[in-house]
Amino acid sequence: QVQLVESGGGLVQPGGSLRLSCAASKIIFSLYNMDWHRQAPGKQRELVASITTGGSTNYSDSVKGRFTISRDNAKNTMYLQMNSLEPEDTAVYYCNVRRTTAWGLKYDYWGQGTQVTVSS
């Protein structure tokens, strides 16, 4: 059974940093495109950052320049380095991995989420 386990969340003061990790098991990690999403209380889940199998990245405007997504295929782990954190970044952060095979089969897996709270 595929497992995605996020870690690294917590309470941090405004202006601080956190690094989230998403460790995957039972998938061929390098074949998957990957995303970080977040959901704040009372709000819809939003896409924060994406990284492709080739390492290309994309960010939402709200985090561009502050967050960095990366992956280590040898460790089956994806990361989200978050700097200059703001109270508006408070949310549950989820990792998502997805793949469409050459035959059109779709695979889509989510982690359980990790809480990030930015507060003084």
Tens digit of each residue's pLDDT (9 = 90 or more) over 67-115: 999 999 999 999 999 999 999 999 999 999 999 999 999 999 999 999 9
Task: For residues 36 and 24, give the distance between their C-alpha atoms in angstroms, rounded to a whole number.
Answer: 14
Tens digit of each residue's pLDDT (9 = 90 or more) over 3-49: 999 999 999 999 999 999 999 999 889 999 999 999 999 999 999 99
pLDDT given at position 13: 97
**Residues in Cβ contact with 13 at an 8 Å cutoff, skipping those fewer than 6 apart:** 118, 119, 120
Q: What is the dihedral of CA 74, 75, 80, 81, to 10 degrees?
A: -90
pLDDT given at position 82: 98
Task: For residues 76 and 27, give the distance between their C-alpha atoms in angstroms, rounded to a whole number.
Answer: 9
